[in-house]
Amino acid sequence: MAIQPAAAAAPTKFSDDLAAFLPHLSLDERGQEVLAGAESAAAALAALEKAQLLDEAMRLAAQALPAREAVWWACMCSRHTAASGARPEAEAALRDLAEEWVRRQGDAQRRAAMAAAQASGFDSPEAWAAVGAFWSGDSMAPPEAPKVPPEPHFRGLAVAGSVALAAARGDARLREARLLRFLASARDISRGGAGRLDPEMG
């Protein structure tokens, strides 16, 4: 399935609070120059992609998407490269937990996702999608303890880690082409689409 990128000026679900998440994009001097004058996340994303700063664009999308959409995006990217996974069944189970949080967004779902990610050793795209779900809640502490809210950018860091691992999984030569497809998926999700990507052949 080929997802067509949305026009930068079209309304999206991307947050336009660029000042809040730009510090978390690890931009070098060139990246900062590329984003000079950008007034929306969609415009910033387009500028980074045009400059072939795909990692920076991916990190921006992870921070700019709302929590539910960001975790779903991580799941779609992990599904795309799942055939190259080390433990397909275990990784699929982790992704299912993250997707269950997307559908229900309950505390039980996000805690189940985090427990499974921790048990897995945090070594897969699916595990970090599950962490993204957990960090989308209101507390990182145990249910019986006083709440310890995650920092607002934590969820984006987890999602970016998931997407980066999905892009590099298996044949690393495919990484750039995958990132381009992943960015198209993020745009589709930001416009209300499902962002689905056809699975790669194993």
Q: Is the dihedral of CA 116, 71, 128, 171 positive or negative?
A: positive
Has residue 198 got a pLDDT over 70? Answer: yes
Q: Of 195, 171, 201, 170, which Cα lies nearest the Cα of 77?
A: 195
Nearest alpha-carbon partner for 125 in 161, 86, 72: 161
Q: How far is 4 from 85, CA to CA, in rounded Å?
A: 27
Looking at the chain, the whole-number percentage of residues with pLDDT higher than 70 is 95
Please name the residues in contact with 63: beta carbons below 8 A apart, sequence gap of 6 or more: 15, 20, 21, 24, 25, 153, 156, 160
Q: How many CB atoms lie within 10 A of CB 146?
A: 7
Please check whether residue 164 is in contact with residue 172, taking contact to mean a CB–CB distance below 8 angstroms.
Answer: no
Tokens of 169: 């999984």
Q: Note whether 110 and 132 are within 8 A (CB).
A: no
pLDDT in tens, 117-165: 999 999 999 999 999 999 999 999 999 999 999 999 999 999 999 999 9
The answer on pLDDT for 5 being more than 50 is: no
Q: Residue 114's pLDDT band (boundaries 50, 70, 90)?
A: very high
Residue whose C-alpha is closest to residue 60's, from 8, 110, 113, 116:
8
pLDDT of residue 3: 45
pLDDT attached to residue 9:
57
pLDDT at 63 over 60: yes
More confident residue, 5 or 154: 154
Comparing CA positions, the residue from 53, 48, 99, 45 lying closest to residue 77 is 99
How confident is the model at residue 165, as a pLDDT? Answer: 97
Residue 10 banded pLDDT, cuts 50, 70, 90: low
Q: Is the pLDDT of residue 2 over 80?
A: no
Tens digit of each residue's pLDDT (9 = 90 or more) over 34-52: 999 898 999 999 999 999 9
